[in-house]
Chain A
Amino acid sequence: MTAQYDLRSSRPDCPSRRGRPFPASIRSLAVLALWALAAAPTGARGAELAELSLEQLLDVEVHGVSKFAQKLTEAPASVTIVTAADIRDYGYRTLADILRGVRGLNVSYDRNYSYLGVRGFGRTGDFNGRMLLLVDGHRMNDPVYDTAALGTEFALDVDLIDRVEIVRGPGSSIYGSNAVFGTVNVITRRGRDFDGAQVSGELASFGTDKERLTWGGRSDTGTEWLVSATRYRGDGRDLYFPEFGASAHDLDYDRYDNVFAKWSRGGFSLAGAWSRRDKGTPTASFNTVFDDPNARSHDGNAYVDLGYAGALGPRWEFAGHLAAGRSDWSGIYPYIYAPGDPVTLNRDITRASWRSAEARLVGRFDAHTLMAGFDYQDNRRQNQANFDLDPYASYLDDRRSSTRAGVYLQDEIALSSGLILNAGLRHDHDAGAGDALNPRLALIWSPRPATTLKWLYGTAFRAPNAYELYYAVDPQKANPNLSPEKSASYEFALEHYLRADYRLAASAYYNRIENLVDQVVDPNDGLLVFENRGSAVAKGLEFELERLWRDGTRLRASYAWQLAEDETGGARLVDSPRHLAKLNLAAPLFAPGWRGGLELQYVGARKTLAGAEAKAYVLANVTLLNERLSRDLSLSASVYNLFDRRYADPGGPELIHDSGVALDTLAADGRNFRLKATWQFR
């Protein structure tokens, strides 16, 4: 490994912290955390509800309708739920922020996209295609890159999220392609949750402001609606890259607009989303000219989804969806083709549009809950193009379309009291990648009401996407003969309730993925090409505790040990931390109405592409909020990276330049702030 990949030696502003494992900031953080913990719950401990004032009563969390009420213990997977209350209390700004706080997950950011690692497996530079992202059941992964957008490019304002269900492990037996390492299901808030109009404004560091306008409600006749629009503008800052010895000026800007609407009446629902984001590219990715003001990318997404759900007789329920969507992506890449030439702007474009239909039947019989369904997607356009703007030169104009379809069946059998067998099987046919058959088997045993043990087995697959199959611009060539990636997962999970408000969870897993689509150099012609090459194994242990107090204090803490290795070389995977620890604490403070949220995240050292190390770090975020400053006004203030910890995420292969300069790690933001005010009009 060369010195230039070594963070410590190449960053003059970041002195070595070797030998000082716990800087003062961390020690004081620990003291602060312990103080907050010791102080928080005592207020309510002895307090009888009768002694509480009206305001205090309004803050009491009612168990039985909170997340503990969900029958998570019976789900055939390890599931974590993040609620709207968490989003408020911890000041989450994006889906990526939400996922960072979840056990066994880590997220990297390369100043353009956010990359998710699940249980040690994540690949820098892919777009989260091995995770399925759903919004109210609508599939968000696009049919060119399989992108699951997690950052500012995600189509939905997180303020509109009621809860996010993070389901670890394979989901292909129900959802088909992409549900390899996990499924993230985002459920939006209802119109009645807003009951009128809401205006929200935010100011944040790096010249950022965000405005949101939402109107929602429910009529006496049962019609429910929600309409919301968001505008976000962030100037970013001039980022200094020691690898280039210079700063990228005004290239970290981030601007997005999105609109979300939904309507429902009786069993019918109609939802639609539209979003666009423009992001400057400060990293000179793909060998482009550093600090050129034109470098940027654009993401656009839109969909409509018509649904119906209703009972068919006393035993059967039906749910169906018809949907249409499109995604547009484009990037501007400034190149200097030969020394002395002027800058030529190259444009890369993706246009995808699709229609889909799905139907699901659920039948309940004595000991059986049967589920059967099918889905079909017609990818009408999966087009990719690449050309120079001036002088015009076209390098790629690839137009594709494809279809995929799947049928599945699942039976949940109550074998005896406290013993459930969940068995499912799905068959997929992809016009390009052929057939896939994916089973799931889960045995869920509750020897006592407070204890649940789960044995889980499942396989999953991901069909190669249009980019991997057909993208061919020098120095990359197409490989239309790719076959799907396949994975198999085994998990043993334990959940135990010490009390109704005190949950412990532990999990041990083994995941193996083979036929991995890797980009390699073809020795015959020296061109980059995607091939089914690698296989990798990830195994690990996770522990979590969660506790609720009657005054509304919530605590969740987790630790994950994970070992992910490339089977072919036996090497550790890139961007895969060995250790992850998370702590989330939210508690009422001072006076009624005030709450505080504290988030601590430890991410262990991660290997980079160049074989160096992105160092371990502890991150602290705090939020202070008052949800009822007056009847219609709520305020929140957040500080992210409270102790201004300098840390960096591993970069992807597109950040390695032919010149030898490589952004092997990308420094993350230091301490930054957000202020948010929300007004409610009824």
Chain B
Amino acid sequence: MTLPLRLLLVLFVWALPSAAAWAAPSSEYEVKAAFLFNFAKFVEWPAKATDKDKAMVKLCLVGADPFDGALAGFENRLLGNKRFVSRRLKLESDAELLACDILFIARSEQDRLASLLQAVKDLPILTVGDGEGYARLGVMINFYLDQGKVRFEINPHAPRRAGLQLSAKLMQLGRPVEGLE
């Protein structure tokens, strides 16, 4: 009888938050931000995209920003010899898209997803979506949640058309989705 109690007591003490408190629990968008940063390691952009700043990997956000500052921790971090930077697009003109390497399309953009995809159709931009069914509609990588964990699905046709090479590892970890190019 006393052993389980003793065990529980030990556990209780052990599990108490220590003075050097742990970081706050991961929020969904902290994890998604880390994914976005990581994706860049597994994508090869075509060499001929010459009009881009070769010293940067630039993440562009369209739609309502769900990150709440979670991307700040990745700002200017090095990916090889490139810096990871992010900025939000106002999208007053499609020309803003030209400088992007990764385009994050927020859940709020469901209604104009088709026109956005049309605008980046032939550009070497990795599109990452955050809405149900986005991958089927032509977004290359799309986040979803499964039992409290962030997962992603991949539309394999879309990157091919844009001339992007997704590494085998990325393809293996994502759930393949048959969808539009």
Contacts and interface: CB of A to CB of B under 8 A. Distances in A.
Interface of A: 21-22, 26, 30, 33-34, 37-38, 45, 48-50, 52-55, 57-67, 83-85, 193, 195, 220, 498-502, 545, 547-550, 552, 555, 557, 559, 579, 581, 583, 600, 602, 604, 616, 618, 628, 630-631, 682
A64 B27 contact: yes
A65 B145 contact: yes
Interface residues of B, number: 48
B149 A62 contact: yes
B25 A548 contact: yes
A628 B151 CA distance: 12
Nearest to B169: A54
Given A30-B7, A555-B15, A618-B3, A60 B74 contact: no
Interface in B83-111: none
B120 to A, nearest CB: 22
Contact of B28 (A64, A550, A579, A602): A64
Contacts of A559: 4-5, 8
B25 A498 contact: no
Given A37-B14, A54-B35, A60 B4 contact: no
A583 B11 CA distance: 9
Interface stretch (B57-65, B123-131, B171-179): B171-179
B145 A60 contact: no
Contacts of A552: 149
Interface string B1-20: 11111011011101111000
Contacts of B30: 49
Given A61-B148, A64-B27, A52 B173 contact: no
A65 B29 CA distance: 12
B52 to A, nearest CB: 23
Given A60-B149, A61-B148, A220-B133, A499 B17 contact: yes
B150 A498 contact: no
A61 B149 CA distance: 5
- Interface SS, B side: helix
B3 A50 contact: no
Contacts of B147: 83-85, 193
18 contacts: A26-B3, A33-B7, A45-B22, A54-B170, A57-B38, A57-B150, A60-B31, A62-B149, A63-B27, A66-B148, A498-B17, A499-B21, A550-B26, A555-B11, A559-B4, A579-B1, A682-B175, A682-B176
B130 to A, nearest CB: 13
B62 to A, nearest CB: 22
B4 A618 contact: yes
Given A65-B145, A631-B173, A30 B15 contact: no
Given A49-B31, A54-B42, 17 more contacts: A22-B3, A34-B7, A38-B14, A50-B73, A52-B34, A57-B35, A62-B31, A63-B25, A195-B175, A545-B11, A550-B22, A550-B23, A555-B11, A581-B5, A581-B7, A600-B7, A631-B173
Given A61-B148, A65-B145, A50 B74 contact: yes
B25 A58 contact: no
Contacts of B34: 49-50, 52, 57
Contact of A500 (B24, B37, B146): B24
B15 A85 contact: no
Contact of A557 (B12, B33, B148): B12
A682 B33 CA distance: 27
Nearest to A551: B26
A498 B18 CA distance: 12
Given A55-B173, A547-B15, A50 B4 contact: no
Contacts of A193: 146-147
B175 to A, nearest CB: 7
Contacts of A52: 34, 38
A631 B11 contact: no
A618 B7 CA distance: 12
Nearest to B38: A54
B8 A557 contact: yes
B15 A545 contact: yes
Nearest to A578: B1
Nearest to B73: A50
Contacts of A501: 25
Contacts of A64: 27-28
Nearest to B133: A220
Nearest to A548: B25
A59 B35 CA distance: 12
Interface in B137-181: 145-151, 169-170, 172-173, 175-176
B121 interface: no
A548 B25 CA distance: 8
B151 A602 contact: no
A618 B173 CA distance: 40
